[in-house]
A and B are shown apart, each in its own frame.
Chain A
Amino acid sequence: MRKFTTAAAAFAGLALTAALPATSARAADITGAGATFPFPIYAKWAEAYKAASGIGLNYQSIGSGGGIRQIRAKTVDFGASDAPVKGEELTRDGMIQFPMVMGGVVPALNVQGVGQRGLKLTGPLLAEIFLGDVKKWNDPKIVALNPGVTLPDATINVVYRSDGSGTTFVWTEYLSLVSDAWKSKIGTNTSVQWPVGVGGRGNEGVSGTVRQIANSIGYVEYAYAKQNNLSYALVQNAAGQFPVPDDKSFQAAANGANWESQPGFGISLNNQRSPEAWPIVSATFILMYAKPADPARSQAALKFFDWAFANGDKLALDLEYVPLPDPVKAKVRASWKGMTDAAGKPIF
C-alpha cells in the first residue's frame, strides 16, 4: 500500500512538472482560428515570428465560419474569415475587421488540346457556363474568343466547391458583378445552389476532380493552381484586357480599390477598372474585439500582425500569397488605434 502511494505521488509530481512549462508557454502564445485559405502563410509567419520574438501563434484552420464562431465565443484572440463580415454585424458585436493578405481565384481547366493559359474567357461567359446555358466547349461564343484553338465537341463538366468556402464567395461575387442572370438566379455566398455540375471538397477536391474528369472547368485559389501546376484560363477584366494572374495583377486590383468605402475594409476587389488588374481577387480578413477583455493578449496579436506587415512580404510571395500594398497597410495600422482597453486607451 505504501509502495502504491509513493508511486502515485511520484507520478503526480511528474505530471505536475510536465504540465507547468506547457501552461506557461501557452499563456504567451497568440491564439487564432478561422479561414483555411491563409493558413499556410499564417503558419509560416508564425514560425519566423517565433524565431524573432519568442512568441508563438496557435492558429486552427477550422474554416471561416468556425473562426467567426470562435471569436464570438471569445475563445481566441482573433478570428479569421475569407469573406468580410458585414458592417452592421461588426458594430453589433463590437468588433473591428481588417485585411491581412490577398489571393486571386483562377478558372482551372482540363480540356483536350488546351494548354496552360491557352484559353481566353470573359466574365459573362463564365457565368453562362456555370449557369449551364453554355453547354459545349465548341460553343460559338467560346470559339469566337479563341481563334486558332481547336475546341472539342464535348459537354462542359462544371466543378465547384461543395464545402462552404471563401473561394466560392469570391467566385460567385465576381459572377454576380458581371452577370445579371447570375445575380438574380444564384447570388453571392460561401455556398450557393449550383444549377449544374459536381462538387469537390476543398481546393484539393476541386483540382483533383478537374484533373480526373475530361472537359471540365472549376475554380481554385491561384496559389493552389500554381503549386499543383493546373492549367487555367485567362479572364477578361473590366478594362477589356487579359492580364496574367500573378502578384502584380493582384496588387493592381488592390491599388485601384476604394478601401474606405465599406466598414472594416470589407470591400470587393473583384472586377476592378485598372487595365493591369486580374478580375477575381480578394483579401482575407482578421476579426478582433474593439474593446478586448484581455488587452495584453490582443496587443500581442497586433504586434504579430504589425511584424508580418513589416517583414512578411517575402515569405508571402514565396507561398504565392500577395501582400497588401503599402498604402493599404498604413490604413490598416491606423484602424488599430480604434482598439482600446477598458480605460479607453489605445492598446497599439
Chain B
Amino acid sequence: MVAVSEQTYKTARTDTRRAKPFRFDPLFAAATRAAAITVLVLLFGIMASMIYGGWPAFRAFGLGFLTGTQWDTMNDVYGGLPAIVGTLSTALIAMVIGVPLSIGTAIYLTQLAPAWFKRPVGTAVELLAAVPSIIYGMWGLFVFVPLFAAWFQVPVSSVVEGMPIVGTIFYARSPSGLGILSAGIILAFMIVPFIASLTRDMLDQIPTVLRESAYGIGCTTWEVVRHVLLPQAGVSIIGAIMLGLGRALGETMAVTFVIGNANRLSASVMDPGSTIASRIASEFNEALGMQMNALIGLGCVLFFVTFVVLVIARILVSRVRQY
C-alpha cells in the first residue's frame, strides 16, 4: 500500500517538474472555503440581527414572551404561546400524516410497482414538489376547505360533541373548515413529494444484491423492506424527514391561507390558530414599534425551535446508527 502511493507520488512529482501546469487546486480549495464561510457568516448575521431586533420584546416580556397568550397590539403586550403551539402542532400533524404516506409511496415505487406505473407516479411526485406554496394555499382555501368543512368538520363535530377529551380535541366551535388541522393536512401534502422522492432515491441506491439475497433465503416482501431496506436507508430517510419537517415548521403562505389566523389558544385542532410564520406574514406590513420587535422576536424563536428540532433529529440519527 505504502509502496504504491510512494510510486504514485514520485510519478506525480516528475510530471509536475516536467510540465509545470497551472496549479488549480489551491484556488479551488479557496473558492469552496469562501462559499462555506459565506453560509456561516450569513447564518450568524441573520441570527444576530434577529436577536438585536427582537431584544426589546425579550427584555420587556421576559419568559412571558414564550408563555403569554395575549397578543394585544393596542396595549403593546405580546405573548407568543398561541403561535408557538400552532407551529409545533401543525408540523406534528403534517408529520403524522405525511411521513407514512411518503415512505409508503417510496417503497411502492421502488419495490412493488410495475415498470409502466413507476414513471408516471414518480414524475407526478416530482411535479408536486415544484408546485409553489401559494398554489397549495389557494387550492386549500378554495377547494379543500369548503369540502373539509361540509364532509368532515360538521359531521365529526356533531358526533364528538360533549365527549370527554375527543370532544375537546375534535369539536369545531364554528365549522368554517379553516383551522390547525386543515393547515396540518395541507402541510402534509406539501412535504410528501420531498420526503417521497428523497426516500425513493435512497432505496434505489441500495445494491440489488442485498435485496436479492434476502429474497433468496425466503424472506417476504415485508421482511425485505423491514429488515433489509429500511435499516440500510434509515439514516438517510430520517434526514429526508427532517428536511420535510423544516419546511413544515417554516411554511408561510399556504398556512396563512388555511389556518384561520386567530391569535387564540384552543384545545381543539378544528379551531383556527396561527403559526409563527403566518403571524409574521400577516402583521409585518403594518407593524410599528414594539409590535415589530415582537414579530422579529417570534422569528428568532422560530429559528431556535427549528434548531432544537434539528439537534433532536441528529441525536435520533446517532441512536439509530448504534443499533
Q: Is the CB of B286 within 8 A of A213?
A: no
Q: Is the CB of A187 within 8 A of B74?
A: yes
With known contacts A191-B73, A198-B178, A209-B178, A164–B283 Cβ distance under 8 A: yes
Interchain Cβ contacts under 8 Å between A and B, 11 examples: A65-B286, A68-B288, A157-B176, A162-B282, A162-B283, A163-B282, A194-B264, A198-B260, A200-B261, A209-B178, A212-B142
In Å, the complex CA distance between A295 and B73 comes to 35
Q: Note all chain B residues with C-beta closer than 8 A to A66.
A: 285-286
Q: Is the CB of A198 within 8 A of B72?
A: no
Q: Note all chain B residues with C-beta closer than 8 A to A213.
A: 145-146, 149, 176-178
Q: Note all chain B residues with C-beta closer than 8 A to A155.
A: 173-175
A208 on the B face (CB < 8 A): yes
In Å, the complex CA distance between A196 and B262 comes to 8
B168 on the A face (CB < 8 A): no
In Å, the complex CA distance between A288 and B73 comes to 25
Q: Which of B141, B174, B288 contacts A209 (CB 8 A)?
A: B141
Q: Which residue of B lies closest to A162 (CB)?
A: B261
B65 on the A face (CB < 8 A): no
In Å, the complex CA distance between A308 and B263 comes to 40
A340 on the B face (CB < 8 A): no
Identify 7 new A-B residue pairs, CB closer than 8 A, beyond the known A63-B286, A199-B282: A62-B285, A157-B174, A164-B291, A190-B286, A193-B70, A213-B177, A216-B176
With known contacts A66-B286, A201-B282, A192–B262 Cβ distance under 8 A: no
In Å, the complex CA distance between A68 and B288 comes to 9
Within 8 A of A (CB), among B256-299: 256-257, 260-264, 272, 274, 281-283, 285-288, 291
Q: Note all chain A residues with C-beta closer than 8 A to B260.
A: 198-199
Most B CB atoms within 10 A — which of A66, A158, A201? Answer: A201
Q: Note all chain A residues with C-beta closer than 8 A to B74.
A: 187-189, 192
CB distance from A84 to the nearest CB of B (A): 15
In Å, the complex CA distance between A138 and B179 comes to 25
Q: Note all chain B residues with C-beta closer than 8 A to A199.
A: 260-262, 272, 274, 282
Interface size on A, residues (CB 8 A): 36
Within 8 A of B (CB), among A180-207: 187-194, 196-201, 205
Q: Is the CB of A201 within 8 A of B262?
A: no
B136 on the A face (CB < 8 A): no
In Å, the complex CA distance between A189 and B287 comes to 12
5 smallest A-B Cβ distances: which pairs?
A: A164-B286, A199-B261, A162-B261, A198-B260, A63-B285
Q: Is the CB of A163 within 8 A of B174?
A: no
Q: Which residue of A lies closest to B263 (CB)?
A: A193
Interface size on B, residues (CB 8 A): 35
A31 on the B face (CB < 8 A): no
Q: Is the CB of B288 within 8 A of A208?
A: no
Q: Is the CB of A164 within 8 A of B261?
A: no
Q: Is the CB of A164 within 8 A of B285?
A: yes
Q: Note all chain A residues with C-beta closer than 8 A to B281.
A: 201
Q: Is the CB of A163 within 8 A of B283?
A: yes
Q: Is the CB of B285 within 8 A of A65?
A: yes
A214 on the B face (CB < 8 A): yes
B71 on the A face (CB < 8 A): yes
Q: Note all chain B residues with C-beta closer than 8 A to A69.
A: 288
A231 on the B face (CB < 8 A): no
In Å, the complex CA distance between A199 and B71 comes to 14
Q: Note all chain B residues with C-beta closer than 8 A to A193.
A: 70-72, 263-264
Q: Which residue of A lies closest to B143 (CB)?
A: A212
Q: Note all chain B residues with C-beta closer than 8 A to A198.
A: 174, 176, 178-179, 260-262, 272
Q: Is the CB of B174 within 8 A of A65?
A: no
In Å, the complex CA distance between A178 and B303 comes to 43
Q: Note all chain B residues with C-beta closer than 8 A to A64.
A: 286
A165 on the B face (CB < 8 A): yes
A142 on the B face (CB < 8 A): no
CB distance from A170 to the nearest CB of B (A): 14
Q: Is the CB of A194 within 8 A of B256?
A: no
Q: Note all chain A residues with C-beta closer than 8 A to B71.
A: 193
A127 on the B face (CB < 8 A): no
Q: Is the CB of A191 within 8 A of B142?
A: no
With known contacts A65-B286, A199-B282, A192–B73 Cβ distance under 8 A: yes
